Amino acid sequence: MRNSLIAPIAAALALAFSAPALAQEAGDWTFSVGAHVVAPKSDNGSLAGGTLDADVGDDWKPTITAEYFFSPNLGLEILASLPFEHDIKLNGVKAGSTKHLPPTFTLQYHFRNDTMVTPFVGAGVNYTHFFDEETTGPLAGTDLSLDASWGLAAHAGLDFAIGTNKWLRVDARYMDIDTDVKVNGAGVGTVNIAPMIYGAAFVWSF
């Protein structure tokens, strides 16, 4: 009995993953809701003439995107999220924290291949606004400020069709984020955050 079921199950799975999924047309929009982790690179730079090594922590938050399609393959996406919050350590000791919003515009190419899985890649620009800086430990009582950042961004992922005009997305981004740091109004150096962003989202189109 077990062997007699293998062939029809295998055939059904093959059909599911080879059946064409509906693609977007010019003028269509897709929207997504998900969650992503912002993971700054290690060794975020030195401050105060090299005497302080900076380390920026990870954080995750809900995210949303909207993408407008110029053709079935080419779209322009904007990413938004709730504010991310990161701890900042100096020489291994927590010295403060900051929040940021990272709106990002990405031109994306979707590799339509008449299957249930659609890869895509994209490149664009990121603007990161820092706010609500707080200090503690070695910076307690000081005024910490982080300048806004403009930088390039890259995006890649896979869309898995789960219904008519619905997809489950897994993706990764890179953002070139760095910020000039001031303490009590005096510049003390630049922190190179340059994070990878990982996550998943539910996508649907209209």
Task: Enter the pTM of the model.
Answer: 0.85
Q: How far apart are CA 184 and CA 162, in angstroms?
A: 53
pLDDT tens for each residue of the chain, 206 residues long: 444 545 544 444 444 444 445 578 889 999 999 999 999 998 888 898 888 999 999 999 999 999 999 999 999 999 999 999 999 999 999 999 999 999 999 999 999 887 899 999 999 999 999 999 999 999 999 999 999 999 999 999 999 999 889 999 999 999 999 999 999 999 999 999 999 999 999 999 98
Residue 9, phi then psi, degrees to nearest 5: -65, -45
pLDDT score recorded for residue 92: 94
Q: Which residues pair with 202 in a beta bridge?
A: 33, 168
CATH number of the structural domain spanning residue 56 = 2.40.160.20
**What pLDDT is recorded for position 22?**
59
Phi-psi region of 48 (alpha: psi -120 to 50; beta: other; left: phi over 0): left
Domain total in the chain: 1
Q: What's the confidence (pLDDT) of residue 42?
A: 87
Owning domain of residue 56: 2-205
